[in-house]
Amino acid sequence: MDLQSLAERFWNHETAAIAVAGSFARGDEGIFSDIDLARFLKTDAQGQDSCTHLVDDRFVVVSDVGPRKVEQCFTDPLDATEYIAGLRTARPLRDPDGYLEAIQKRAREFVWDEAIERKAHAWASAEMVGWIEEVQKGLEGLTRGDEGRMLNARHGLTWGLARVMRVQRGILISSDNGFFPEVIAEIGADSEWARLFRIACGIGGVTDLREQVKSGLRLYVLTARMISATLSREDRPLIDEAARRIVEFRDLGQW
């Protein structure tokens, strides 16, 4: 695949720079890897989205990135954990005015400082409140034997809680593929959090949905305990009540 030709193909008058990101930038692509192109735009006026194309039997995903999104990568904790590492490793294909070069320099110099840490703690606290709905679905699903509720719960109590820990701890993931292993490595591969997470995801041979949901509920309680010192005053009573309900449900032997 001629990446330079791809850059020319997707260049338009609003484009400031184009880079290849993901596995093709890192050099660890496989036969089924998409080619991820980041198209940096001069303004936010153009509609920004990700579009998938088929070029020479390869799927090519072109993601538009405007100035507002670039700034969010350095100021929003969710975006920072998701994109800073990728900005550092992206490979410029066309950057005539050094626009991307300046962004990458800023990414390499990025520091997880007190200001973004405060935002991260507030975000994680609010997110834990948001996942209370999945706690309720998990408890109700176990009570009724309702697979639909349990499947919804498992999503929030695995992927959702991993994202909470990623942002709360400022883990700058290398890619979406590296999300789970990198979060687990940061928390501790042999930790109780990692053990519960693996079971809740069905990793290691646990195929029973009920057991996965139970582990996810325990993971919520443990996550709340681990980030307790950074929870907001408004969110803490709600999170504590959700954790209390999980413990009470378990102690009553209802699972």
68 and 163 part of one domain: no
Q: Which of 79, 108, 137 is at the close of a domain?
A: 108
Regions of the chain with pLDDT less than 50: none
The reported pLDDT for the residue numbered 239 is 98
154/227 same-domain check: yes
Q: Which of 163, 38, 189 is nearest to 99 (CA)?
A: 38
Tokens of 16: 């400031």
Residues 143 and 225 in one domain: yes
Please check whether residues 99 and 122 belong to one and the same domain: no
Domain match, 82 and 120 both? no
pLDDT for the residue numbered 133: 98
pLDDT of amino acid 47? 63
CA distance 231 to 229: 6
- DSSP secondary structure, 83-143, as one string: HHHHHHH-EEEE-TTSHHHHHHHHHHT----HHHHHHHHHHHHHHHHHTHHHHHHHHHHHH
Give percent helix, percent strand, percent coil of the chain, each to the nearest 5: 60, 15, 30
Domain end marker among 108, 136, 166: 108
Please count the other Cβ atoms lying within 10 Å of the Cβ belonging to residue 231: 22
Query: What CATH number did the domain enclosing 78 receive?
Result: 3.30.460.10
Please check whether residues 73 and 96 belong to one and the same domain. Answer: yes
**Residues of the domain holding 99:** 3-108
What's the number of domains the chain is made of?
2
Q: What is the pLDDT of residue 46?
A: 65
